[in-house]
Homo-oligomer: A and B are copies of this chain.
Amino acid sequence: MAQAVKSTYPEVKMAIGPDIENWFYYDFDFWEVEFKEENLKEIEKKMKNIIKQNQKFEKYSLPVAEAVKALKAKWEIYKVEMAEDLVKTGETEISFYRNVTQQWAETFVDMCRGPHVEKSLDIDENAFKLDKIAWAYWKWDSDKIMLTRIYGFAFESREALDEHIRLLEEAKKRDHRVLGKKLKLFAFSDKVGLGLPLWMPNWAMLWKQVEDFWKEAHEKNGYDFVRTPHIGNKTLWETSGHWGFYADSMYPPMEVGQNLEEVNAWIKAKESETFLLKPMNCPFHVEIYNEEPKSYREFPLRWCETGTVYRFEKKWQLSWLTRVRWFTQDDAHIMCRKDQVEEELKRVVNFILYIYESFWFDKNTVKVYLSLRDPNNKSKYAGNDEGWDLTQTVLEKIAKEMKLDYTAEEWEAAFYGPKLDFKLKDVLGREWQCSTLQFDFNLPERFDMTFVNDKWEHERPYMLHRALFGSFERFIGLLIEHYAWAFPVWLAPEQVKIVPVSDVFLSYADEVYSELRKVWIRVKIDDSTDSLNKKVRNAEMQKIPYILVIWEKEVNEKTVAIRNYKTKEQSEAKIAEFVTLILEEIKNKR
């Protein structure tokens, strides 16, 4: 693709072009040309031509100085910068790939680590597709120039490409962005701001069901609830270290007291404060811990909170519900003794699996990643060897014992502790980080958390940070796609729609309505003047689990004609029978 672009627009400067799962992209600086999505066709055509020429990919290396010189000669300013960056990391040679035609003419050179196919005919010209263009900052840095990114996907065969496109279509049908708009789930308002969705009634009801379930499950699992504010004094974030290493993702400070006049300097000094929106809940839970001395007898402490956090994601990184600026973590911190670590970990893993099961996520859709520290560079981590060795060993032991489909990754641990991440695959096989389970050796040190052990000594507790959904927004976004909005009855915002065929049957419809409301079924009557067909179609479009049609027969026999959205079955039952049926379904979370 880079060759095709470069041959069409010789002035183009090439930046980076990696492959990502199922996808590839390349970032270009089109210089003075305005490249548009409709130009993709032309590039695709040229790519097919290049493939047909059966060009060879030849690798060669140059000493760094020569490589930089060669790149400068071609005015490839971004490649020059990358080469110079490589020098800093200690590289002495840089590799290139040269494309040559069968006539041994060089057509294209690119600095690249590789590997590449041997020859262009190894690529099936019918098995790739350019998808779209997007904007991307050079080196992800908003202070730098904005480049044009071309996205595409490539497969080993036409069949695989077709299958992928079919799955894409399938995903579109389930896409929570499309469904969200259609089903009045959420609203975005310019006045409120980007990445700050407003949850409309249908959505908020779905949220409530998920949240009620979550709270009940936590109460049953021996958690206590806590509640903490969305802002904290800057001192808190300095102590926690977030202001040092996380400020980029935080909303800017609110400076209080700056408008007081100079004459009242002493008042100003007294009143001046700086507040920050919280990007995480942890420091608040730590402050609650530190409110009172703790004894080893009180452990384990399991404190949970549906904590809404604010992170200032860059505009171009926002992605509907999966990446927003306000989201709610289903957070918890477990403080325990060393001898409780294994038991607590097992409980959390079991809890995570219980959650997936409750929402009917197949075990095969769960992939687990175990992040360990770099064994050769221990000094860059918080905590001590004893803590790391214990937690890493126990994490791996449990992953094995519980037969998790896990991959261990050294060097992947954050500086504060090792972790287990649980990712869910969506219809397209994309993985979404949901549950996480992380040890934290950093905050206990920074906030000097201690407890009195059975020898009356001060000891540092083990602190385990965990989330099951990850965030409510993301998890519910996944749920919508997972169920394609055809929710199990217990989750459905509207569970039953009563459709009287005409106004004559309205009073019986009211009777059915009352019976259902008595047991708090979420039901509505469609008393519009629409035709029966239209009413049924409307209810089906909203994927309401049960439609109850009321005609003369139903009124006479005190029954309801039931249409089940999911099975498409139609049946007839007494009101009481239907109530029993639906309550059973709600109870089983089916």
Question: Chain A interface (Cβ within 8 Å of chain B)?
Answer: 142-143, 146, 184, 187, 189-194, 196-201, 203-205, 207-208, 215, 219-220, 224-233, 235-236, 239, 251-256, 258-261, 264, 267, 270-271, 273, 275, 277, 283-284, 287-288, 290-292, 297, 303, 305, 308, 310, 312, 314-315, 326, 520, 528
Complex A-B: 14 CB contacts under 8 Å = A142-B267, A143-B264, A189-B236, A190-B235, A191-B236, A192-B233, A193-B231, A193-B232, A196-B229, A201-B224, A231-B310, A251-B256, A252-B256, A297-B528
**Chain B residue at minimal CB-CB distance from A203:** B227
Determine which of B201, B251, B271, B284 lies in contact with A231 in the assembled complex, contact meaning CB atoms within 8 Å: B251
A191–B233 touching, CB < 8 Å: yes
Q: Which chain B positions have C-beta within 8 A of A199?
A: 226-228
Q: Which residues of B contact A190 (CB under 8 A)?
A: 233, 235
Of the candidates B203, B259, B292, the one whose C-beta lies within 8 Å of that of A184 is B292
Partner of A196, one of B207, B231, B254, B292: B231
| Interface pairs A-B: 5 shortest CB-CB | A201-B224, A199-B227, A204-B225, A187-B291, A193-B233
Which one of B142, B227, B256, B283 lies within 8 Å of A271 (CB-CB)? Answer: B142
Chain B CB within 10 Å — which of A190, A204, A303 has the most?
Answer: A204
Taking a contact as CB atoms under 8 Å apart, the answer to whether B267 and A146 are in contact is yes
What is the interface of chain A mostly: helix, strand, loop, or mixed?
mixed
Q: In the assembly, how many copies of this chain are there?
A: 2
Please state if B251 and A226 are interface contacts (CB–CB under 8 Å): no
Whether B287 contacts A189 by the Cβ 8 Å rule is yes
For residue A224, which residue of chain B has the nearest CB? Answer: B201
Rounded to whole Å, the gap between the CB of A228 and the closest CB of chain B is: 5
Nearest B residue to A263 by beta-carbon distance?
B143
User: Which B residue's beta carbon lies closest to that of A258?
Assistant: B252
Residues in B whose Cβ lies below 8 Å from that of A283: 191
Find the B residue at minimum CB distance from A146: B267
**Which residue in chain B gives the minimum CB-CB distance to A256?**
B252
Chain B residues within 8 Å of A215, by CB: 208
Q: Are A303 and B236 in contact (CB under 8 A)?
A: no
Known: A232-B192, A254-B254, A260-B142. Contact between A303 and B201, CB under 8 A?
yes
Given A187-B291, A227-B198, A284-B198, verify A252-B252 contact (CB < 8 Å). no
Chain B, residue nearest A143 (CB): B261
Alpha-carbon distance between A201 and B218 when the two chains are bound, in angstroms = 13
CA distance A142 to B481 in the complex (A): 54
A35 to B291: give the CA distance in the assembly, Å.
Answer: 34
Across the two chains, which residue of chain B brings its CB closest to A236?
B191
With A142-B260, A254-B253, A255-B252 in contact, is A204–B229 under 8 Å at CB?
no
**A447 to chain B: closest residue by CB:** B191
CA distance in complex: A198, B224 (Å): 14
A254 to B256, Cβ gap below 8 A? no
Let me know if B291 and A200 touch, CB within 8 A.
Answer: yes
Q: A230 to B310, alpha carbons, bound, how many Å? A: 9
What residues on B are CB-neighbors of A193 within 8 Å? 231-233, 236, 273, 275
Verify A219–B256 contact, CB threshold 8 A. no
Write the nearest CB–CB distance from A186 to chain B, whole angstroms. Answer: 9
Which residue of B is nearest A240, CB measured? Answer: B191
Bound-state CA distance A226–B184 (Å) is 12
Cβ A200 vs Cβ B288 within 8 A: yes
- In chain B, what residue has the closest Cβ to A267? B142
> Beyond A189-B287, A198-B228, A198-B291: 17 further Cβ-contacts under 8 Å?
A142-B264, A142-B267, A192-B233, A192-B236, A194-B273, A196-B229, A201-B224, A201-B225, A204-B225, A205-B225, A231-B277, A252-B255, A252-B256, A252-B259, A254-B277, A271-B314, A277-B277
